[in-house]
Amino acid sequence: MALNVANISTPIRTENFWKGFWRLADPKISMASLAAMFLGASAAVYLGPVHWGWLALTVLGILAIEVAKNASGEVFDFDSGTDLAVTEANRSPFSGGKRVLVDRLLTRQQTVALSTMAYILGASAGFAIAAWRAPAVLWIGIFGVLCAYQYHAPPLKLSYRGFGELAVGLCYGPLITAGTYLVQRGTLSWKVLLLGAPLGLLIAGFLWINEFPDYEADRVSGKRTLIVRFGPRRASRMFAAIELAGFMGVALLPLVGWPVFTVLGFVGIIPAGRAIVRLMNSPENTEAIIPAQADTLKAFLLCAVGQSAGLWL
């Protein structure tokens, strides 16, 4: 471990820098942000025209905060020993952090600089929208940035204290959906927040299953995620409950005034069901969990696309 700590400030080759940046951007995870934005934009289209310039600025701002969160999280998770404690057998494309410091793709200074620049870019986009388009988006943006930074960082360290799932569920579900809608329409209602609620549950489920391969590393490093608190067996049953609750939320959308076709979000229940079975059968086997992680992400994305298609129809 000492060798890794010493090496994180040594020079990095250019090709490694871009590999590290790509890991921090992490397109497969950024799709979650894009899916929630797509749902919010679809809800706005349901009631009026799209303002493409403001939508582009919204996308830029949220994706910048995504990169910033990933970069700042790398530093805090490295310092805590969490990323260093992940064994090769428990590495997963969806878990264990981005590992840009562990794998020496970026130096510490580069990671901090990228995080700072991305936070500034995301915040600037948010301030521009608040100043010239939708003032109320300022408060959504402030809450989102605080959740992004405090997810790993002190004093709150949300992911270390069992609140990471709640923060992710709120931000990647109702918050991004409602914020995107607000920028387009200039107003907000509980209906829009409820539209994003099923996505919030499903993305919380995605985070939940991603914590299983990290169970031992989190436990020994003092990261008290809910998987660590409940244990893998019990947490696997709770994962099933989260996924099913998300699709129950989809079923209720027509009852709060959304078109009946929004239940097309149910298409995501197929990969969700596979993920539930796989996880409950092998909650401590990373190799078996990886396909379930992929299925959980598919469930979230398909639900977002299905709900959005229902609005377009």
Q: What is the pLDDT of residues 205-229, one digit of tens each?
A: 999 999 999 999 999 999 999 999 9
For residues 274 and 176, the answer to whether their CB atoms sit within 8 Å is: no
Question: pLDDT tens digits for 76-85?
Answer: 999 999 999 9
User: Residue 63's pLDDT is what?
Assistant: 97
Considering the chain, what is the average pLDDT of its residues? 93
Reported as a pLDDT band with limits 50, 70 and 90, residue 8 is: low
User: Residue 12's pLDDT is what?
Assistant: 58
Q: What is the mean pLDDT of residues 101-126?
A: 96
In order, the DSSP letters of the chain are -HHHHHHTTS---HHHHHHHHHHHH-HHHHHHHHHHHHHHHHHHHTTS---HHHHHHHHHHHHHHHHHHHHHHHHHHHHHTTTTT--GGG--TTSS---TTTTTSS-HHHHHHHHHHHHHHHHHHHHHHHHHT-TTHHHHHHHHHHHHHHTTSTTT-GGGTT-HHHHHHHIIIIIHHHHHHHHHHS---HHHHHHHHHHHHHHHHHHHHHTSTTHHHHHHHT---HHHHH-HHHHHHHHHHHHHHHHHHHHHGGGGTS-GGGGGGGGGHHHHHHHHHHHHH-TT-HHHHHHHHHHHHHHHHHHHHHHHHHHH-
User: Residue 16's pLDDT is what?
Assistant: 87
List domains and CATH numbers for the chain.
Answer: 2-312 (1.10.600)
Encoded amino acid at 292, one letter: A
User: Residue 10's pLDDT is what?
Assistant: 56
Token code pair at residue 79? 């310092």
Cα 31 from Cα 63, distance rounded (Å): 10
pTM here? 0.93
Cα 53 from Cα 55, distance rounded (Å): 5
Q: Is the confidence at residue 5, as pLDDT, over 50?
A: no
